Structure 1
Amino acid sequence: MNATPAKWTNETWPIAAAMIQYPGTLANGRSVQDQSVDEWHATLSDVVDAGFTEVDPTDSWLRLADLAPERLDAFMTVVGRLGLSVPAISTSRRSVIDPRHGDEYLAYGHRVIDTASAIGSGAVSFGLFEPLTDAQKKALWFWTVDGARNPDDPGTWQKAVRRIRELGRHAEELGIELSLEMYEDTYLGSADSAVRFVEDVGLANVGINADLGNLIRLHRPVEHWQQMMEKVAPHAKYWHVKNYSRMEDPASGVIVTHPAPLEQGIINYRAAIRMALSHGYSSPFLCEHYGGDGLSVSATNRDYLRRILPR
């Protein structure tokens, strides 16, 4: 299937900056939710100065769905004045099967979908991963410490399927795609499991956020990125892209990973993106990077994507 979207070229493809390098709670204890318009403008100016024309607010920074209508309008006015757009909204660590807050996060998910529709975003990303543990927060790289796991329980799996299907149907009514983020020790924690999960959901607008970086960074054996990509490519939708170097010593069993620019890590994104395009991928990208000046590395990654996307 030749599915290069006629509506986008390598220069016009929506490639958004993530806001993961900006905290949701400031050093003085204030929440970004309560910041002034001028303060939002100052932060988003960083994104513009890095050369981005798209941004995903990423709700670890700002929960658009929890802003009052007039505050949401004010935020979008800032976005527009800076020449930015919001092609998609990503959620983080708000799982609909969270043991304590699952019902709350399900309701929040519906608000995210309504908000995406209201501001003209075409995609939302959800995940089944939970907040970082105290041990993960203390680690230099949180992924080197095991976190919460989705239970190995058919009943909980089916609950997750039902709730994501509910969100998917809501999104479908509004013409929005729903992308489920691959993440370790969740029901999207391997390529096989991710495919089975979205097939169980069974909606055409619900697919996989093929964030393989979340898996290849683990200090444990993982499936080769190419094998994973071959399995998930037919289901790929809104995609978080990041890369890591990965060193494995078979003799000792030692595995070490480190964040890397897209073109320098172990995942060959030129090949991975071509796989997705061959199956009709036509969604925006989100550039993420942990460590150092993540926004600047994301900008480098954006430029790399523009070089390798179809002209």
Structure 2
Amino acid sequence: MNAPSHPSAPTPGPIAVCMHGFAPVAADGTRLHDASAETWDDVFAQVERLGFTAIEIADSHIRPSELTASRRAELKSVATSHGIELVSVHVQRQSVIQPGKGEENLAYAHRAIDAAAELGMRVFSTGLHQPFSEAQRAALWFWTAPGPVDPDDADTRALAVRRLRELGEHAASVGLPMSLEMYEDTYLGTADSAVRLIEEIGLDNVGLNPDIGNLVRLHRPIEDWREMHEKTLPYANYWHMKNYARDEAADGSWQTSTPTSMELGLINYRAMVARALELGFRGPFLMEQYGGDSLGVCARNRDYLTSLLPATAGA
């Protein structure tokens, strides 16, 4: 199968912001998912003040499919009042092959697709990453501790393909692209495996989220970031963008990383964005940042990315 076809829009965009800068649970124990409209209004007001016009709804914070219809309408109304588009829903750590929960997670993903369509989103985003291990929950940076690993098993991989194809077909039926996020120790954990998975699924609306930052940050040997992008960008239809300062010993005895801005990290986004546009990327971008003032760094990254795009892109 060839790489998924890209939309015919002349420029990519919009540039959205992640929800990492907002607490998923308030000090009083109230989940953002269950928060009042006033609390949601404050979230979108902050996003607006930073100059963003789009946001990704991460289900770590709000699960649109698990809201009532009236609450979904309220979510969209509050966002729209601040000029903010709900560009995508990102279903994370709900792998369709998670032991003991795969079928439950599959059903949830189907509901998430319907909610995304109802809210007029542009992308349904998910992956194969699973909930954090105890070691990851205890670590300063979760990527420095071992987490779940997809088995090297043909039957399990085939199950992943079947279930993801089922979700892709559902997404296509409601007019949505589906994007699969690259993530370590999953079938989307290397460039070759991720591309092969997309080809095995075999649907034009299913592509990759080439979040190479997820791999650059690992405290272990990694593939060359240039080669990973070259292999995956032809299949990209949505892009989580973040960067890390990385250092490693020449003999491979140690590796370390820390979050930084898109401009300062290991990945040369000027070169990679130019290559993506050359290959026909036309999807939305998502600014993502762990640690510090996530929202502030995302805003700086947005300005940097805007400088790399055609003048009419990112709207």
Normalising by structure 1, report the TM-score.
Answer: 0.95
What is the CA distance between 1:142 and its match in structure 2? 0.6
The residue matched to 1:57 in structure 2 has which SS?
strand
1:144 pairs with 2:141 = no
Opposite residue 100 of structure 1, the aligned amino acid is: G
* Alpha-carbon distance, 1:310 to partner: 2.1
| Aligned mates of 1:94, 1:16 — CA distance in 2 | 22
2:65–2:112 Cα contact (<8 Å) kept:
yes
Contact 2:33 / 2:63 at 8 angstroms: preserved in 1?
Answer: yes
- Matched residue, 1:254: 254
**Would you say 1:88 and 2:95 are equivalent positions?**
no
Other-structure match for 1:155: 155
What residue in structure 2 maps to residue 271 of structure 1? 271
2:211 is equivalent to residue 208 of structure 1: no
Q: Structure 1 CA distance, aligned partners of 2:10 and 2:259? A: 29
Aligned to 1:75: 75
TM-fit CA distance, 1:295 = 0.7
The range that moved more, 216-225 or 251-260, is 251-260
Instruction: Please state if 1:117 is matched with 2:117.
Output: yes
**Which residue does 1:286 correspond to in 2?**
286
In structure 2, the partner of 1:131 is: 131
Determine if contact 1:56/1:86 at 8 Å carries over to the other structure.
yes
* CA shift digits 1:137-165 (9 cap, x unpaired): 11111100010011111111000000000
Report deviation, 1:275: 1.9
Per the TM alignment, residue 9 of structure 1 is displaced from its structure 2 partner at its CA by: 5.0
Task: Report the CA distance between 1:6 and its aligned residue.
Answer: 7.0
CA deviation map 1:212-258 (0-9, x unaligned): 00000000010111000010011011110000010011247121101
Give the corresponding residue for 1:107: 107
Say which is worse superposed, 245-254 or 218-227, in terms of deviation.
Answer: 245-254
User: C-alpha displacement at 1:5, in angstroms?
Assistant: 7.3
Q: Which runs of 5+ in 1 are unaligned?
A: none
SS, match of residue 262 in structure 1: coil
Which residue identity does 1:157 align to in structure 2?
R
Residue 226 of structure 1 is matched in structure 2 by: 226
Letter in 2 for 1:20: H
What's the secondary structure of 1:79's corresponding residue? helix
Question: Counterpart of 1:231 in 2: which secondary structure?
Answer: helix
Structure 1 residues 93, 279: closer, same or farther in 2, change over 3 A? same
Give the Cα separation in 2 of the matches to 1:45 and 1:14.
18
The normalised TM-score by structure 2 is: 0.94
Is the 2:238–2:284 contact (alpha carbons within 8 Å) kept by the matching residues of 1?
yes
Shift of 1:8: 5.5
Count of paired positions = 307
Q: In structure 1, how many angstroms separate the alpha carbons of the residues matched to 2:210 and 2:40?
A: 30
Equivalent position of 1:183 in the other structure = 183
Rounded Cα–Cα distance in structure 1 between residues aligned with 2:209 and 2:242? 12
- DSSP-derived class of the 1:56 partner: strand
The worse-fitting range, judged by mean Cα deviation, of 96-105 and 251-260 is 251-260
Structure 1 residue 35: Cα displacement: 0.8
Query: What code does the residue aligned with 2:274 have?
Result: R
Counting aligned pairs with the same residue, the percent is 47
Distance 1:88 1:47 in 2: 15
Shift of 1:115: 1.2
Displacement, 1:26? 2.4
Instruction: Give the C-alpha shift of residue 20 in structure 1.
Output: 2.1
Cα distance in 2, alignment partners of residues 23 and 194 from structure 1 = 31
Aligned to 1:33: 33
CA distance in 1, matches of 2:30, 2:151: 35
Secondary structure of the corresponding residue to residue 281 of structure 2: coil
Tell me how far 1:21 sits from its aligned partner: 2.9
Structure 2 CA distance for partners of 1:4 and 1:305, relative to 1, 3 Å: farther
Inter-CA distance 9–187: structure 2 relative to 1 (3 Å threshold) = closer
Tell me: CA distance 1:4–1:202, structure 2 relative to 1, closer, same or farther (3 Å): closer
| Number of the residue aligned with 1:307 | 307
Flag the 1:302–1:121 CA change in 2: closer, same or farther, 3 A: same
* One-letter code aligned to 2:101: H
| Distance in structure 2 (CA, Å) of the matches to 1:4 and 1:303 | 24
Equivalences for 1:192-203 in 2 at 5 Å? 192-203=192-203
Query: Secondary structure, in 3 states, of the residue corresponding to 2:26?
Result: coil
